[in-house]
Amino acid sequence: MIMKFLWIIAFFTILLWSGINPKDQFTWFLEVIPAIIGFIVLAFTFNKFKLTPLVYTLILIHCIILMVGGHYTYAQVPLFDTIKEVLNQDRNNYDKLGHFAQGFIPALIAREILIRKDIIPKANWRNFFIVCFCLAFSAFYELIEWIVALFSGEDADDFLGTQGYVWDTQSDMALALIGSIFALILLSKFHDKQLKKIK
């Protein structure tokens, strides 16, 4: 119960902070709307389908990544500007962290649903499906970005965050793919321990 309240306090505190004088209001809205939708889904499903603490924590981390990106825009997060200078990079790579998380975190959400609902019982096939799902989700998000860009013109530049990188879309999807694989390799055993406590 305490974790639930801490989660909610953290979510709304960072959401409020991110909405105070963001660099671009339209970009802020586009970036945080998935987090808000996620919160609504979690609120409606909490009593019927409680997730493991691991997955709730990962979802909060993903929401924070979105909110920080919304406040500064993904191309201008100060910490990653510093990293850019220290490592002599050509661009601010905060968006790459976001796309890695876009594979890493949904992989564990999908894994939990598939295991608890006994949809794909065999681990190898389940892992294959999870990786495919995360890659498809990333590609779908890239299509959304493209549609937003078409309808909003120059206003979508900060949302796209390509920073002139010609392979931005492909690298975003590749990072989501890598993120999903890393999540399954690194967290499956820990996730299984938490799943046993729920069953």
Position with higher pLDDT, 152 vs 136: 136
Shortest CA distance to 74 belongs to which of 38, 30, 104, 107? 30
Nearby residues of 97 by Cβ (< 8 Å), 6 or more positions away: 65, 80
pLDDT tens for each residue of 54-101: 999 999 999 999 999 999 988 889 998 899 889 888 888 899 899 999
The amino acid occupying position 31 is E
Average pLDDT value for residue range 19-38: 92
What domain count does the chain have?
1
Average pLDDT of 31-39?
Answer: 95
Q: How confident is the model at residue 145 (pLDDT cuts 50, 70, 90)?
A: confident
pLDDT at res. 153: 62
The confidence band for 183, taking pLDDT boundaries of 50, 70 and 90, is very high
CA angle, 106 then 137 then 33, to 5°: 75
Structural domain boundaries enclosing 8: 2-198
Q: Which residue has the tokens 């390799």?
A: 185
Question: Which SS3 state, helix, strand or coil, does residue 164 take?
Answer: coil
pTM of the predicted model as reported, rounded to 2 decimal places = 0.89
Average pLDDT, the chain: 90
